[in-house]
Amino acid sequence: MPRMKPMLVALLLSGILAACKDSPTEPAEPLNEEEAKALYLGLMDVASDTMPELVSQTGDGGVLRHKCPRGGEMEIEFGVDEERAGGAAGVSVTMVMDPAECVIWSEGYQFTVEGSPNVRIEMSLSSMGQPESFDMDMTATGALDWQLDDRSGNCVFDFSLSAELDLSNFQEGQAETTGTICGLEVELDPVAPPV
């Protein structure tokens, strides 16, 4: 009988492994290009909230807490560095966006997002004496977890955007995007910077 126990255990384990192999779990369908773009625009929309709660403040930055449109929140740690030289003016902004069960509605999609660990935005705006005309360079890195309907996954941000902006009319801006959002190459239009 003692010899039978190891054999029974081995048989049970092989049966469990065979059952697992027979019923594989398919990975969730990843976001498509339209959905990935909507996710990014939704994050920027939350970051553009003009009435966040100031959690803490330093001489050149601080931490803001934004309420997400349909529940949850997003903390943004930010830093600002202004530069002036001759007729040129510039500002550099760093934001670390950390959503927590943040529900956003964007381009017809409702996402729930969680920092995994967060998304870091580095942006610089510069003007050569024309108050409404700016050059903008931005990079986005990091990752977050997303849920959309019955799908979920992880989205990695690794892209840069260069744009010429006319603050009087954003429709006339030109932008060039390189890199990926959620593993996809996504073309982005110039949008008002979330600062």
pLDDT of residue 41: 92
Residue 187 inside a domain? The answer is: no
Q: Which tens digits make up the pLDDT trace of 48-101?
A: 887 899 999 998 999 999 999 899 999 999 999 988 766 677 889 999 999 999
pLDDT of residue 136: 85
With a cut of 50, say whether residue 163 has pLDDT above it: yes
Q: Which tens digits make up the pLDDT trace of 109-153?
A: 999 999 999 999 999 988 866 666 778 899 999 999 999 999 999
Q: Spell out the residues 6+ positions from residue 65 whose beta carbon is closer than 8 angstroms to its own.
A: 52, 53, 55, 73, 74, 75, 76
| Cα–Cα distance list, 82 to 54, 88, 161, 164, 167 (Å) | 20, 11, 20, 19, 18
SS3 191: coil
Residue 142 inside a domain? The answer is: yes
C-beta of residue 93 within 8 angstroms of C-beta of residue 110: no
Residue 50 inside a domain? The answer is: yes
Residue 186 inside a domain? The answer is: no
| CA-wise closest residue to 45 among 94, 106, 100 | 106
Residue 3 inside a domain? The answer is: no
Residue 52 inside a domain? The answer is: yes
Report how far residue 145's alpha carbon sits from residue 157's, in angstroms, rounded to the nearest whole number. Answer: 11
Beta strands in the chain (DSSP E): 53-58, 61-67, 73-85, 88-100, 102-106, 109-127, 133-148, 151-166, 174-181
pLDDT of residue 125: 85
Structure pTM? Answer: 0.76
Owning domain of residue 134:
31-181
Q: Where are the alpha helices (DSSP H) in 23-103?
A: 33-47
With a cut of 70, say whether residue 6 has pLDDT above it: no
Residue 105 inside a domain? The answer is: yes
Q: What are phi and psi of 107, to 5 degrees?
A: 55, 35
Cis peptide before 117 (omega within 30 of 0): yes
Domains of the chain: total: 1
Residue 14 inside a domain? The answer is: no
